[in-house]
Amino acid sequence: MNALMHTTFGITDFWTFLVGTIFIVLLPGPNSIYVLSVAAQRGVRDAYRGACGIFLGDLILMVLSAGGVASLLKASPTLFHLVKYVGAAYLGWIGLQMLLKAWRALRANTDSGATPAAVAATPQERGGDPFRKALAISLMNPKAILFFISFFIQFVDPHFGSPALSFTLLGLVCEVLSCIYLTIIIFVGARLAQEFRRRRRLAASMSGGVGAVFIGFGAKLATATL
């Protein structure tokens, strides 16, 4: 079967790619954590809007990888450092904003005694467009960047006559696996939303925890190497 995939589609060691991609997709990252947060705070529809932003971001990274950006980044350490520091700063900024919102929500709960229903509405009112935010997060996601730069391209035969076909098939596998995983996360988050509507402090704590995780992802990206 591997030989058939190699000679027909220009894909080397497809099953290794499949297993590796499954494990990489399952690892917690900014994409999945953001979608879970949106699902828990704003519901299934907004979470799927965020997921669509992630799908588009991953597609852009795939096209850039196939177009030789991976080689360019490896050949230009200055450019690679610029990209990763900008991405790290953006992820850190998102995390800081989420921490501040969680702090304000906790203070509001203490000072004004606002109802849980009002708290549940706050993230939706202040969270911005989930599609655009998820797209930016996807493009700055250290796991996705390193995956498409260092892992994804290894499974395309450079001597194959139609490498675009190989990249398309590998990209399709990535997107399908990501869609399945994010769908599971979205419905888990939607179930959590019922609890968050009753418990304001829990919702604020989750938002703060997610913010701290994003700051950690930013730090991880800042120290990443090719």
CA–centroid distance for 224 within its chain: 17
The contacts of residue 179 (CB under 8 Å, 6+ apart) are 51, 55
Residue type for 83, please?
V
CB 137 within 8 A of CB 31: yes
Tally of residues, the chain? 226
The contacts of residue 118 (CB under 8 Å, 6+ apart) are none
Give bridge partners of residue 156 from the DSSP assignment: 11
Give bridge partners of residue 11 from the DSSP assignment: 156
Q: Does the global pTM surpass 0.85?
A: no
Average of per-residue pLDDT values in the chain = 76
pLDDT at 141: 74
Q: Where are the domains of the chain?
A: 2-222
Tell me the per-residue pLDDT of 69-123, one tens digit each, with 9 for 90 and over.
Answer: 666 766 777 777 777 787 778 778 877 877 887 777 667 665 544 443 334 444 4
Please give the structure tokens belonging to residue 11: 């894909």
Tell me the per-residue pLDDT of 112-155, one tens digit each, with 9 for 90 and over.
Answer: 444 433 344 444 444 578 999 999 888 877 667 777 777 777 78
The contacts of residue 5 (CB under 8 Å, 6+ apart) are 11, 14
